[in-house]
Structure 1
């Protein structure tokens, strides 16, 4: 950022913060203002250099896999539509990156530098560790860079984003009225920085507060303002030490002393192994389901663009929207899921979970067969209804979601009060619609294998849940498994055994 831009911003925001202050007692040259000015002068170059290297490498990889300019239709949209779509996509990416930074301890150490601000104003916007900013920029900006938006649209988006970021951090008493549930306001973002327990880990979006409304992470109390900002942990007060601090903190974490006795060592090793496996599984799921979601979006775009040549294209769009939304919720709950309490042991349970989850993706490489209009209608309706019911069940399962036989939290309300493992039951309708729409004998064969594996997955999960939650036996005694209102002895018999013996 050049000196002229800094001077112009100061001439705009300093008078505004004096005219409409949220905290009138705050001085213009508040504490640590010089430190944040150094961030403005120095940090931009470091972040741009790092982001160029990371984004450049990723874009080369994407170009190698998908070819140059894999998406072309976005550049043909009007500028206003391009900018609007870019804001939405970039903010979904930023929300994801921001929430990950609050969830993953190693990334939080870098993100905590930004939260160390104790007095909010426009200058505080720039106190961001380069590692944190490069990570967030990559997840928010890279998707819109590869989607074929015009240079004009990207420039306008960045201008809006930068101006909005300064407004959000400023010491301004500005109300957005009902729009505060749609667009991020200073009030909204100040609560994200508030050092008050009920405001922790809320309001993650950068521009669109409606993302937090949908995700259930919004926090906007009425007739109340934050009393304090900052951290409950030590943080150096000058630029060089703030850059070094996260690395030192990580090094200390890695060098912590080992437990003092064998039992503690064994327990610690078990917990570490479970956590490591869960994190690796989370990464694999994000990559796999992210790719499936990308393919779904491409299919949806293709149907919209070529709708005049596609019979019953309205139904196809409905089914694709349902599938895309389901994958979106899978990604969201994978990112935010709770840590595991217990897991099924052995290789078999893991193979069953992985194959059962991904076996139907083989249909991508199998040419479909022509089907009648009536069959296509039935298929699309089944996929749409199955997707909606699956989303409903997934929303109730929430942060307990996992593809492995793992216990996180016990759910017994809503759909789970009607049938145990309702998500598996709902997916049957969705997958059968997919198989019917594909029309090949091989698709029906894969569907049958998938169904057997789903039953087995539920049985493994049953064993883990019984082992973790003593109250699960009473719950299982009153609620049938997989099929509402129907109990089958052969279906429920294996669940009483421990996971080691399955």
Structure 2
């Protein structure tokens, strides 16, 4: 069986991702518009709308960065990196189908605030990642500026905050189990990306030595200057 050339595979992947997130963003926009049309103008309602708007903003930015992304200079080989990427990225969406558990208004408020913070941070990270964004473990351009001065994989860390907010909003064994699965596969994505980045960019080794993987050190040590690989 003859596979399409790498350029064609990248185009197909980019088009599929852009279409998928465009549909998701459209549905989210319609739902948010419906909520705004039934405005209550209470603090909890405003925060809930804020969570929806930040989620919509993140999805729109995913579409933009996917369409505009650079061609990969190196891609992880084998089936495991692809399975880990797809499950890590899309398993969270299955939580939409989980029936919601009634929770205390204060917990719901906290969950929405956590989600807003998480999505705002995700937007910040994705903005800096820009044309280097991808779902699969691929190397496009080395980004070490902005949030990438603090940790090597800030987008995954911020997506974990969003996941925590979603679980708080519906704290059932199903959401917790799915959350654990997502985190496990997200970690595999990080491992696979680390291998690709180290192979593609010789300076990544020094960058990794100075910058932690997921948890900032908040030290006064000067970090690597911003740049591209």
Moved over 4 A (4+): none
| 303 and 311 in structure 1: CA distance in 2 versus 1, 3 angstrom threshold | farther
Q: Write the distance in 2 (CA, Å) between the matches of 1:440 and 1:275.
A: 43
Out of 316, 334, 345, the position equivalent to 2:66 is 334
For the pair 1:322 / 2:54, whether they are aligned, the reply is yes
| 465 and 335 in structure 1: CA distance in 2 versus 1, 3 angstrom threshold | same
Q: Deviations over 1:120-148 (max 9, x none)?
A: xxxxxxxxxxxxxxxxxxxxxxxxxxxxx
Q: Deviations over 1:62-98 (max 9, x none)?
A: xxxxxxxxxxxxxxxxxxxxxxxxxxxxxxxxxxxxx
Cross-structure match for 1:412: 144
Q: Write the distance in 2 (CA, Å) between the matches of 1:441 and 1:314.
A: 28
Q: Write the distance in 1 (CA, Å) between the matches of 2:59 and 2:52.
A: 11
SS of 2:103's partner is: coil
Equivalent residues in 2 for 1:3-14 (5 A)?
A: none
Report the Cα offset of residue 279 of structure 1: 1.1
Q: Deviations over 1:142-201 (max 9, x none)?
A: xxxxxxxxxxxxxxxxxxxxxxxxxxxxxxxxxxxxxxxxxxxxxxxxxxxxxxxxxxxx
Supply the RMSD in Å over aligned alpha carbons.
1.9
Between 364-373 and 456-465, the greater mean CA deviation after superposition: 364-373
Cross-structure match for 1:287: 19
Q: Write the distance in 2 (CA, Å) between the matches of 1:292 and 1:425.
A: 22
Cross-structure match for 2:102: 370
1:303–1:316 Cα contact (<8 Å) kept: no
Q: Write the distance in 1 (CA, Å) between the matches of 2:27 and 2:102.
A: 21
Cross-structure match for 2:34: 302
Cross-structure match for 2:159: 427
Higher relative contact order (CA 8 A, sep 6+): 2
SS of 1:308's partner is: coil
Report the Cα offset of residue 373 of structure 1: 0.8
The count of corresponding residues between Structure 1 and Structure 2 is 217
Out of 156, 168, 176, the position equivalent to 1:444 is 176
Out of 119, 126, 131, the position equivalent to 1:399 is 131
Report the Cα offset of residue 431 of structure 1: 1.5
Out of 111, 120, 130, the position equivalent to 1:388 is 120
Q: Write the distance in 2 (CA, Å) between the matches of 1:358 and 1:304.
A: 27
SS of 1:323's partner is: helix
Q: Write the distance in 1 (CA, Å) between the matches of 2:101 and 2:132.
A: 38
For the pair 1:358 / 2:84, whether they are aligned, the reply is no
Cross-structure match for 2:76: 344
Report the Cα offset of residue 435 of structure 1: 1.7
SS of 2:40's partner is: helix
| 384 and 309 in structure 1: CA distance in 2 versus 1, 3 angstrom threshold | closer
Report the Cα offset of residue 310 of structure 1: 8.5
For the pair 1:480 / 2:212, whether they are aligned, the reply is yes
TM-score normalised to structure 2 length: 0.89
| 309 and 367 in structure 1: CA distance in 2 versus 1, 3 angstrom threshold | farther
Cross-structure match for 1:275: 7
Report the Cα offset of residue 301 of structure 1: 1.6
Q: Write the distance in 1 (CA, Å) between the matches of 2:209 and 2:122.
A: 24
SS of 1:312's partner is: helix
Q: Deviations over 1:302-361 (max 9, x none)?
A: 221233399821111000010000001000000000001000000110011011111111
TM-score normalised to structure 1 length: 0.42
Equivalent residues in 2 for 1:31-50 (5 A)?
A: none
**Which of 1 and 2 has greater Rg?**
1
Gapped regions of structure 1 (runs ≥ 5): 1-268, 487-502
Q: Write the distance in 2 (CA, Å) between the matches of 1:307 and 1:363.
A: 26
| 469 and 318 in structure 1: CA distance in 2 versus 1, 3 angstrom threshold | same
1:341–1:408 Cα contact (<8 Å) kept: yes
Cross-structure match for 1:132: none
SS of 2:46's partner is: helix
